[in-house]
Homo-oligomer: A and B are copies of this chain.
């Protein structure tokens, strides 16, 4: 944890940004809830528990900044809010998501499944891929089991 904070601090400094206590508190929340997909509001409430003086706008600005630095990725699952997802350490690409249309759960896929597809896009469309967003909508294992039981 401390290691990653130190790392992010360096990234900030490299772009002549400061690591303020507010920013650090925000990053800590993101690290603690790495598996989740928090909205700005969610992050704000969690940061507030430990640093009650922080303002919502600061959290928004910090998340935007971290997004710029590619520390987090901003995603949108179709409800009205942006969510912020920490990149895995050293990951070149954004990871994928499985969104269950029954229960709303979000699972992550860290493996890069798109290497072949990106090659095709590159060669056949002449498009230089820098990053991707891939989300599958469907029914998760748990909900499938529940459906079978119910019948």
Q: Is A91 an interface residue (CB 8 A)?
A: no
Q: Is A17 an interface residue (CB 8 A)?
A: no
Q: How far is the CB of A37 from chain B (nearest CB, A)?
A: 14
A134 and B131 contact, Cβ closer than 8 Å, known pairs A76-B78, A125-B109: no
Q: How many residues of A contact B (CB 8 A)?
A: 33
Binds B, one of A27-35, A46-54, A139-147: A139-147
Q: Is the CB–CB distance between A138 and B127 below 8 Å?
A: yes
Q: In the bound complex, what is the Cα–Cα distance between A100 and B130 (angstroms)?
A: 10
Task: Enumerate chain B residues within 8 angstroms of A121, measured Cβ to Cβ.
Answer: 98, 109, 113, 136
Closest to A74 in B: B78
A131 and B127 contact, Cβ closer than 8 Å, known pairs A120-B113, A121-B98: no
Tell me the number of copies of this protein: 2
Q: Which of B113, B117, B132, B141 contacts A126 (CB 8 A)?
A: B141
Q: Is the CB–CB distance between B117 and A128 below 8 Å?
A: no
Q: In the bound complex, what is the Cα–Cα distance between A140 and B130 (angstroms)?
A: 11
Q: In the bound complex, what is the Cα–Cα distance between A138 and B117 (angstroms)?
A: 14
Closest 9 CB pairs of A and B: A126-B141, A130-B138, A128-B139, A129-B138, A76-B76, A131-B137, A133-B135, A113-B117, A128-B138
